Amino acid sequence: MTTKTATPEAEVARLAEETTTMLDVAEDFSIATAPEYVEGGEVLKRIKAKSKELKDKRQAMTRPLDESKRQILDLFREPEAQLADAEQAIKGAMLTYSNEQERIRAAEEARLRDIQAKEQAKLLARAEKAAARGQGEKAADLEEQAETLPVPIVTSPQPKVEGISTRVTWHAEVTDKAALIQAVAEGLVPDVVLEPDMTILNQQARALKDALNYPGVKAVSDQTVAAGRGNVPRKLTPRGG
């Protein structure tokens, strides 16, 4: 006679029923005596053992899926990386061209504005001489010409490609950390820019404990109960059950 193996769904249902019972026991559990404290420790170890059993069952079911996913991701990883590199190469070439066109545009605009400034200076000089000779109307006309000279604006002959745009983004770079700290201390910069690195501070607290003596920082201890796993867990029943 063959033994029928429980399906994974049935196994999980069994474990779920047992965990529900464990939760009922834990929620009704109270400790008033030393034996009850010991009993609580034993119950805690059985809960830990059941937690491992549940985790092992879950991993047994998900591990094949994880492996299949890993294999699929491996298939796509290289071509996706190649496309990302190709995209960056084209973007780099386009930005190089755009920057060069902007440099040429800015240089030409600066050249024309220099010519305009010199022409304006000449007109104002002539107006000053006309005013000195008593030619007020001529002087006013020359000043108006100087003021109304068109300001040269050169546009870049940047080609347009539908769906493609150039975007400018900004980011901060700390060039003088001490100066930034001083500015925060003086209230010139909001202190949010100097959020403490809690990962490092927690590492220091674990290492130094009460000896941690940083200005503005204190070591705080949290007390918890640690439990190992017991042997094969026996069935738990509520005290009143």
For residue range 18-74, list pLDDT tens digits in order. Answer: 999 999 989 999 999 999 999 999 999 999 999 999 999 999 999 999 999 999 999
In which band, very low, low, confident or very high, does the pLDDT at 230 lie, cut at 50, 70 and 90?
low
Range of 189's domain? 176-211
The verdict on residue 169 lying in a domain is no
For residue range 89-98, list pLDDT tens digits in order. Answer: 999 999 999 9
What integer is the mean pLDDT of 212-237? 77
Please tell me whether residues 30 and 128 are part of one structural domain.
Answer: yes
Q: How many domains does the chain have?
A: 2
Please tell me whether residues 13 and 116 are part of one structural domain.
Answer: yes
For residue range 115-174, list pLDDT tens digits in order. Answer: 999 999 999 999 999 999 988 899 999 999 989 999 899 988 778 888 888 888 888 999
In which band, very low, low, confident or very high, does the pLDDT at 238 lie, cut at 50, 70 and 90?
low
Return all residues near 184 (Cβ < 8 A) that are at least 6 apart: 190, 191, 193, 194
Return all residues near 40 (Cβ < 8 A) that are at least 6 apart: 29, 31
The verdict on residue 51 lying in a domain is yes
What is the token pair recorded at 71? Answer: 């294999």
CB-count burial class (<10 Å; 0-12, 13-18, 19+) for 54: middle
Q: What is the pLDDT of residue 227?
A: 78
Please tell me whether residues 107 and 203 are part of one structural domain.
Answer: no
Q: What is the pLDDT of residue 67?
A: 95
Please tell me whether residues 25 and 110 are part of one structural domain.
Answer: yes
Residue predicted with more confidence, 67 or 6: 67
In which band, very low, low, confident or very high, does the pLDDT at 233 lie, cut at 50, 70 and 90?
very low
CB-count burial class (<10 Å; 0-12, 13-18, 19+) for 230: middle
Return all residues near 138 (Cβ < 8 A) that are at least 6 apart: 127, 130
- For residue 124, the tally of other CB atoms under 10 A from its CB is 16
Q: Of 25-29, 77-81, 223-227, 235-239, give the lowest mean pLDDT range.
A: 235-239
The verdict on residue 226 lying in a domain is no
The verdict on residue 127 lying in a domain is yes
Q: What is the amino acid identity at position 5? A: T
Q: What is the pLDDT of residue 198?
A: 92
What integer is the mean pLDDT of 174-190? 93
Please tell me whether residues 77 and 182 are part of one structural domain.
Answer: no
In which band, very low, low, confident or very high, does the pLDDT at 180 lie, cut at 50, 70 and 90?
very high
Round the average pLDDT of the chain to a whole number and report it: 89
pTM of the model: 0.61
